Amino acid sequence: MKISKIISYVVLAVGLLSGVLLYIMNGGFSDLMTEAGATEARELPLAQSTALVSPLYNLALVVIGVLLLVTLITIIGGLVKNPSSLVKTLIGAGAFLVVVGVSFALSKGKEVITRDGVVITEGTTRWVEAGIIAFYIFAAVAVGAMLVAGIKKSISN
């Protein structure tokens, strides 16, 4: 059996399991909200709603972990087969770290208190802003690369 067929079956099984867990979670929330007389899920007691969300959350963590592991194995396998690509990989990783560093240097954090009274620290807001700035930088680079490639293609024709 080909690996692509095996992966397809695994993805199908995880999708079905996710659908079942989501159905159970939504049904449980509806019952809890009816019992508690709540109009929104955030009004439910945390202890009761945690039991409904935990299985789907744990499945998401497992899927993310497996995806990270498969990605690392694929990358390392590619580097072992073609060691010359290591330099390009290191340059790309270095450029990524430079963009994140510049974004963090440009960001400013400030403590925020939400309407619910939750305090979000200065460090957290600084990292969020750094992520947004990094996204804008990467988006600008991507658009610029597409424009340059389009201009080069139109000039060469």
> What is the spatial distance between Cα 6 and Cα 74, in angstroms, rounded to a whole number?
17
**102 to 8, 51, 88, 91, 124: CA distances (angstroms):** 40, 41, 21, 16, 17
pTM for this model (two decimals): 0.55
Reading the chain (157 residues) residue by residue, the pLDDT tens digits are: 687 788 788 888 888 888 887 777 777 767 777 777 777 766 767 676 777 677 777 888 888 888 888 888 888 888 788 878 888 888 999 999 999 999 999 999 899 888 878 888 999 999 999 999 999 999 999 999 999 999 999 998 7
The residue whose two tokens read 């930088």 is 137
> What is the spatial distance between Cα 141 and Cα 116, in angstroms, rounded to a whole number?
38
